[in-house]
C-alpha cells in the first residue's frame, strides 16, 4: 500500500452494536495509520435503520455516491426490531442490497478459520475442526435474491432463480485465482441434479476451470456440502457457490469457528469493495460496551489484504488477534470460566497493544 496516498474510506456504523464495534475498529485503524504512516480520510455516513429515521431511506443516493467515490467501505450492522414492521422494500436490510447492486459487489468472501484458543467454543469436536481453513466465495449480485419476475400474492408467491454466463464467469475466475494462492482446490456447490440454473452454473464453472489446469475442481450438491462441512470441514479449501447456497453454507461454517461474532467478510467487485462483520445488530446488548469487536477488526485485515494488497500488515493484525485470544482475553460472548473478560473497547486496545509490539 502506498504510504503517501490518501485512502478514502466510507464509514457506515449502522444500527445496534454496529456503532460500538465500528468505534473499536477505528481505534485499530488509527493505530495502523500511526505505525505504518498511512493517511486515511474517513467519511462517516448513515445506513440502515438510523438512515430510515432521519431520511426515510435505508441508504440515500448521496451516501451511495460517497461509497462509490471511496477506496473501500466499512460497514457495521444493519437492522433491528424497531423497523421489523416496515414493508419489505423499506427495511434497513435493503441498504445491503442497494450497496451491493450500486457498487456491483458481485463476490462475498467469508473465511472460516478456527482460532486455536477457541477450538472448544465450537459445537463440533475439536479434532474435527482443528486446522480448518475455508474461504467461501459466494456470488452476491445475481440468483434468486435479484431474479425477476417475483411476486407476493394472496394465493401464491414466487421468486426467479436466474444466472447469466457473465455472472458465473467472473465469480468463478475470482475463486480460481484465490485458490492459486491457497491450497489449489475449488469445490463448486450447486443443485445440478434438479435445477436447470444449477446445471448451467456447473457447465460455465467447468469452462472457466479449463483455464486453470493447476487447480483441482470438484462439483458437489448443496445438501451434501452442508453435511460434509460438519463431517469433515478440512476437506475444503475454496467453496464457490451461488447466492442462496452461499448464504446458507457460510452460516454453517460460522459454527465451525464457534461464534458469529468472530467472522469477518468482504464484498468485492471489479472496482469497489465493502468490508463488514458477519454478525447482526444484537439490539439486546447494544449500548452496553460488551459486543465482540473482533469480526469488525478482522474485516479491517481483509481490507488490507484484498483492497490494498498489504499482506504484511494484514498478517500482523491477524497475529495480534490470535495472541490476545491465546493470552485468555475474551469478550463476554466467548468467555469461559477463568478467562479475562474485556469490554468492547478494552478488547480493541489489547489487540492494538500487541500489534504495536511487532
Q: Which of 204, 228, 257 is the last residue of a domain?
A: 257
d(CA 129, CA 284): 30
d(CA 146, CA 257): 30
Evaluated on CA atoms 88, 93, 94, 95, the torsion sign reads positive
Torsion angles phi and psi, residue 91, rounded to 5 = -75, 155
**Residue 251 falls inside a structural domain:** yes
Per-residue pLDDT of 131-141, as tens digits, reads 999 999 999 99
**Residue 177 falls inside a structural domain:** yes
Q: Are residues 222 and 135 in the same domain?
A: yes
Q: Are residues 249 and 149 in the same domain?
A: yes
Locus of grid cell 467478510: 265
**Residue 78 falls inside a structural domain:** yes
Domain that holds residue 103: 1-111+259-358
* pLDDT tier at 34, thresholds 50, 70, 90: very high
Q: Are residues 250 and 200 in the same domain?
A: yes
Task: Specify the range with the lowest mean pLDDT, choosing from 89-103, 162-176, 247-261, 336-350.
Answer: 247-261
Does residue 96 have a pLDDT over 90?
no
Mutual angle of helices 18-36 and 311-326, in 10-degree steps: 120
**Residue 87 falls inside a structural domain:** yes
**Residue 116 falls inside a structural domain:** no
- The mean pLDDT value for 105-131 works out to 92
pLDDT at 349: 98
Cell of 29: 485503524
**Residue 118 falls inside a structural domain:** no
d(CA 3, CA 143): 39
**Residue 347 falls inside a structural domain:** yes
pLDDT at 256: 84
Does residue 88 have a pLDDT over 90?
no
- The mean pLDDT value for 100-127 works out to 91
> How much of the chain exceeds pLDDT 70, in percent?
98
Strand partners for 297? none
Write out 314-342 in H/E/C secondary structure. Answer: HHHHHHHHHHHHHCCEECHHHCCCCCEEC
* pLDDT tier at 254, thresholds 50, 70, 90: confident
Per-residue pLDDT of 278-304, as tens digits, reads 999 999 999 999 999 999 999 999 999
pLDDT at 251: 87
pLDDT at 2: 67
**Mean pLDDT for the chain?**
95
Task: Specify the range with the lowest mean pLDDT, choosing from 37-41, 213-217, 335-339.
Answer: 335-339
Task: Specify the range with the lowest mean pLDDT, choosing from 7-11, 20-24, 202-206, 252-256.
Answer: 252-256
Strand partners for 217? 186
Strand partners for 238? 135, 186
Q: Are residues 130 and 246 in the same domain?
A: yes
User: Which CATH number goes with the domain that contains 223?
Assistant: 3.40.718.10
* pLDDT tier at 121, thresholds 50, 70, 90: confident
Q: Are residues 131 and 249 in the same domain?
A: yes
Does residue 261 have a pLDDT over 80?
no
Q: Are residues 127 and 217 in the same domain?
A: yes
Does residue 16 have a pLDDT over 90?
yes
**Residue 117 falls inside a structural domain:** no
8 Å CB contact between 117 and 322:
yes
pLDDT at 337: 83
Q: Are residues 237 and 250 in the same domain?
A: yes
Q: Are residues 78 and 193 in the same domain?
A: no
pLDDT at 138: 98
Q: What is the β-pairing status of strands 151-152 and 157-158? A: antiparallel
ω into 149 cis (within 30 of 0) = yes
- The mean pLDDT value for 106-111 works out to 96
- Count of the separate structural domains present in the chain: 2
Q: Which of 208, 241, 257 is the last residue of a domain?
A: 257
Q: Are residues 25 and 42 in the same domain?
A: yes
Per-residue pLDDT of 160-216, as tens digits, reads 999 999 999 999 999 999 999 999 999 999 999 999 999 999 999 999 999 999 999
The catalytic residue positions are: 145, 191, 223, 247, 251
Q: Are residues 273 and 241 in the same domain?
A: no
Does residue 358 have a pLDDT over 80?
yes
Torsion angles phi and psi, residue 199, rounded to 5 = -65, -40
- The mean pLDDT value for 11-18 works out to 98
Q: Are residues 160 and 81 in the same domain?
A: no
User: Nearest-5° angle of CA 75, CA 53, CA 140?
Assistant: 35
Cell of 98: 442497494
Q: Are residues 90 and 1 in the same domain?
A: yes
Q: Which of 222, 257, 292 is the last residue of a domain?
A: 257
Amino acid at each position: 500500500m502506498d504510504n503517501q496516498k490518501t485512502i478514502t474510506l466510507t464509514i457506515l456504523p449502522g444500527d445496534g452494536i454496529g456503532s460500538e464495534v465500528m468505534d473499536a475498529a477505528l481505534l485499530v485503524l488509527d493505530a495502523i495509520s500511526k505505525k505504518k504512516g498511512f493517511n486515511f480520510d474517513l467519511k462517516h455516513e448513515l445506513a440502515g435503520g438510523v438512515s430510515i429515521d432521519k431520511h426515510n431511506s435505508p441508504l440515500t443516493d448521496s451516501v451511495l455516491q460517497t461509497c462509490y467515490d471511496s477506496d473501500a467501505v466499512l460497514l457495521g450492522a444493519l437492522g433491528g426490531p424497531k423497523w421489523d414492521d416496515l414493508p419489505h422494500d423499506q427495511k434497513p436490510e435493503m441498504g445491503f442490497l442497494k450497496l451491493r447492486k450500486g457498487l456491483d459487489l458481485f463476490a462475498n468472501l467469508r473465511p472460516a478459520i478456527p482460532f486455536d484458543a477457541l477450538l472448544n467454543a465450537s459445537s463440533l469436536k475439536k479434532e474435527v475442526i482443528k486446522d480448518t481453513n475455508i474461504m467461501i466465495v459466494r456470488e452476491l449480485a445475481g440468483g434468486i435474491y435479484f431474479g425477476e419476475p417475483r411476486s407476493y400474492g394472496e394465493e401464491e408467491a414466487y421468486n426467479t432463480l436466474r444466472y447469466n454466463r457473465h455472472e458465473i464467469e467472473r465469480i468463478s475466475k475470482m475463486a480460481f485465482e484465490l485458490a492459486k494462492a491457497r491450497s489449489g482446490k475449488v469445490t463448486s456447490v450447486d443443485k445440478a441434479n434438479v435445477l436447470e440454473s444449477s446445471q448451467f452454473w456447473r457447465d460455465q464453472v467447468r469452462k472457466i476451470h479449463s483455464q486453470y489446469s493447476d487447480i483441482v475442481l470438484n462439483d458437489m450438491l448443496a445438501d451434501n456440502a452442508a453435511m460434509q462441512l460438519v463431517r469433515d470441514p478440512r476437506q475444503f479449501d475454496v467453496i464457490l457457490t451461488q447466492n442462496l447456497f452461499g448464504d446458507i453454507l457460510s452460516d454453517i461454517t460460522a459454527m465451525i469457528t464457534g461464534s458469529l461474532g468472530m467472522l469477518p467478510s468482504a464484498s468485492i467487485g471489479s472496482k469497489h469493495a465493502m468490508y463488514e462483520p458477519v454478525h447482526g445488530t444484537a439490539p439486546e446488548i447494544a449500548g452496553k460496551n460488551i459486543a465482540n469487536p473482533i469480526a469488525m477488526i478482522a474485516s479491517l485485515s481483509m481490507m488490507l489484504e484484498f483492497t490494498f494488497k498489504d499482506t504484511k500488515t494484514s498478517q500482523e493484525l491477524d497475529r495480534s488477534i490470535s495472541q490476545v485470544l491465546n493470552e485468555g482475553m475474551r469478550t463476554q460472548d466467548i468467555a469461559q470460566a477463568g478467562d479475562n473478560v474485556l469490554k468492547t473497547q478494552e478488547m480493541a486496545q489489547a489487540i492494538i497493544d500487541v500489534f504495536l509490539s511487532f
